[in-house]
Amino acid sequence: MCRSIKVLRRPGELATREEISAAALQFVRKVSGYRKPSRANQAAFDAALGEISDSVERLLNELGARSRQGAAERAEDAPA
């Protein structure tokens, strides 16, 4: 759907807030069909950007936490 949105989950490197916001903007533009919304739609557009950015940040944090937890568990299980 949004081929130009880049992968934000990278090993050993956290996505910046700017990268997350840029991806959210591309997504909202694609879904809404607006490159720039009218004044009447600006509040809804901005609210969607904020919600999507926050959701993506939570997702990446959760995935990172699980990856770190899995690595720690594998290290504990490894023979000494």
Average pLDDT of the chain is 83
Distances from the Cα of 54 to the Cαs of 7, 40, 60, in angstroms? 16, 23, 10
Instruction: Place 53 in a pLDDT band, splitting at 50, 70 and 90.
Output: very high
Distances in Å between the alpha carbon of 21 and those of 8, 48, 55, 74? Answer: 11, 11, 11, 34
More confident residue, 79 or 22: 22
Q: Residue 59, SS3?
A: helix
Average pLDDT value for residue range 29-55: 95
Break the chain into its structural domains and give their ranges. Answer: 38-71
* The pLDDT value given to residue 10: 77
Note the pTM of the prediction, 2 decimals.
0.73
At residue 11, the 3 state secondary structure works out as coil
Q: Is the pLDDT of residue 12 over 90?
A: no
